[in-house]
């Protein structure tokens, strides 16, 4: 099935579309690592729980990056690449973006989850010291992670299909090596 390519993307839109493939692949990899290493019925140390939390956090950040407006004002439009979300997929996408905006990327105070206690040390110079207890649990349930994985696969497939169709009509656009400006400045 071939799709009609929408209007030719601008240079900035093109780069956002291409790099979104990498962002979504990173998110999918982090989810895969989490699924492979975390048995939801298992018992883990805090350090192990933090490793799982890192995978989950990376998956959420990487997923959201294309949908968040960049400094250049560009963000990924699923519609532009021919991907249509079902109402359930749209709801799930919005939930992941809300997690990113409220908890993962910004730690809004209304969503913080922790406890502070004091420990008393007695002796010649008795004193109290704070003890911080942070919530180490995962944000996504197993069902939500499966839905998240399906959404990522749909987006990755849509981006590859979009790129393939665009390449058929404009192959020279895919013959380049993009170097970050920060690297270019180092070479000077």
Residue 132 lies in a domain: no
Give the residue among 31, 35, 20, 143 at the shortest CA–CA distance from 81: 20
Give the domain extent around 75.
Answer: 11-109+141-187
In a domain, 119, yes or no: no
Give the per-residue pLDDT at 6: 55
Please indicate, yes or no, if residue 130 is contained in any of the structural domains.
no
pLDDT digits (tens, 9 = 90+) for 104-116: 988 888 888 889 9
Which sign, positive or negative, has the C-alpha torsion 39, 45, 48, 52? positive
When divided into structural domains, the chain yields a total of 1
**Domain annotation covers residue 83:** yes
Distance of CA 123 to the CA centre of its chain: 49
- Cβ(150)–Cβ(160) under 8 Å? no
Domain contains 43: yes
Closest by CA position to 147, among listed 135, 155, 136: 155
Beta bridge partners of 139: none
pLDDT digits (tens, 9 = 90+) for 2-41: 555 556 888 889 999 999 999 999 999 999 999 999 988 8
> pLDDT per residue over 84-138, tens digit each?
999 999 999 999 999 999 999 888 888 888 899 999 998 888 899 999 988 888 9
| pLDDT tens column, 43-78 | 999 999 999 999 999 999 999 999 998 787 889 999
Q: What is the DSSP string of 3-58?
A: ----SPPPHHHHHHHHHHHHHHHHHHHHHHHHHHH--TTS---HHHHHHHHHHHHH
């Amino acid at each position: 099935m071939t799709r009609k390519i929408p209007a030719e993307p601008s240079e900035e839109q093109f780069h956002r579309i291409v790099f979104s493939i990498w962002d979504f692949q990173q998110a999918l990899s982090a989810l895969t690592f989490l699924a492979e290493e975390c048995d939801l019925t298992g018992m883990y140390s805090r350090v192990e729980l933090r490793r799982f939390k890192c995978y989950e956090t990376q998956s959420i950040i990487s997923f959201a990056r294309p949908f968040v407006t960049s400094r250049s004002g560009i963000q990924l439009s699923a519609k532009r690449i021919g991907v249509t979300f079902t109402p359930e997929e749209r709801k799930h996408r919005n939930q992941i973006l809300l997690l990113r905006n409220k908890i993962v990327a910004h730690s809004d105070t209304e969503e913080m989850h922790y406890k502070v206690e004091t420990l008393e040390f007695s002796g010649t110079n008795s004193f109290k010291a704070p003890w911080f207890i942070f919530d180490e649990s995962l944000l996504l349930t197993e069902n939500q992670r499966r839905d998240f994985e399906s959404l990522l696969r749909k987006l990755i497939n849509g981006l590859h299909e979009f790129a393939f169709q665009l390449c058929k009509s404009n192959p020279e656009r895919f013959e380049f090596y993009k170097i970050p400006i920060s690297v270019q400045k180092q070479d000077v």
